[in-house]
Amino acid sequence: MSREEIGAGDSLKAVAYSDLSFAAGSGVFSSGIEALVEDVLLTSESDVMAIVRDSVKYRWNTFDRVFLAKCWTEDTETLIGLDSLIEISTIGHAARSASRRAGRAMLDAWARLDDPGALAYQSVVVAGAAPGHQSAVQATIYRSRKLSLNTAESLSCWALVSSLVGAAVKLGVIGHVSAQRIFLDLIPEIEHCLSTKVADDQEPVTWTPVQDIATERHPYLNRRLFAS
């Protein structure tokens, strides 16, 4: 199946896999949102929208999505190498740890469902041969589930956006109506990102300094609702 050929089967799977009740591993992380709230830098719907938009444009589209596309491979050694490259390319200890924990949680959930791709790569991660970062695991699972890369990219972006917006809701910055408005307003921008294929020679880059610093500050907060 090509990137453009997204049929009913892919759509139904995407609905199932994007269910927030599914243990995909990202729901316990705020990715800096909690620290920004404590610093009174995130107080409104427009603040949340700005952070989420920057995360999509300058983190997910240029870094996570690039690695997801590069990890879309049958070659285990190539996947291990890329997974290890995510480790050394991710800024900050807290961000690296969160990515590993989210990826391994996703692997564990799908291994419990006897997915062959998850079982195979979980053995590699458990053996210490690869760190198990989220983008590498997403590529492994969604490819194993026979999704198109385009659908996998959409699910990857949804996981990021829903995690950030969900954190803002849980912390009381916005309500559910505002959350839905943010989701809807972001769709055109996400579609624009997805309209351009990741080039084979594209290098992963990211520039979200405010959020990166907030993520690293998270372990030092007085009260914490999220793991990071």
Which residue's entry shows tokens 């690039």? 66
Q: DSSP letters along 202-219, please? A: PPP----HHHHHHHHHGG
Q: Which pLDDT tens digit goes with each residue over 47-59?
A: 999 999 999 999 9
pLDDT at 8: 55
The answer to whether residues 136 and 82 touch, using CB atoms and an 8 Å cutoff, is yes
Q: Which pLDDT tens digit goes with each residue over 79-124?
A: 999 999 999 999 899 999 999 999 999 999 999 999 999 999 999 9
pLDDT at 228: 62
Name the amino acid, one letter, at 110. W
Q: What is the largest CA-CA distance in the chain?
A: 49
Name the amino acid, one letter, at 125. V
Residues 152, 133: Cα–Cα separation, whole Å? 15
Q: Which pLDDT tens digit goes with each residue over 18-54?
A: 876 665 555 667 889 999 999 999 999 999 999 999 9
The answer to whether residues 118 and 131 touch, using CB atoms and an 8 Å cutoff, is no
CA distances from 185 to 46, 47, 128, 131 (A): 11, 14, 41, 35
| Cβ neighbours of residue 128 closer than 8 Å, sequence gap 6 or more | none
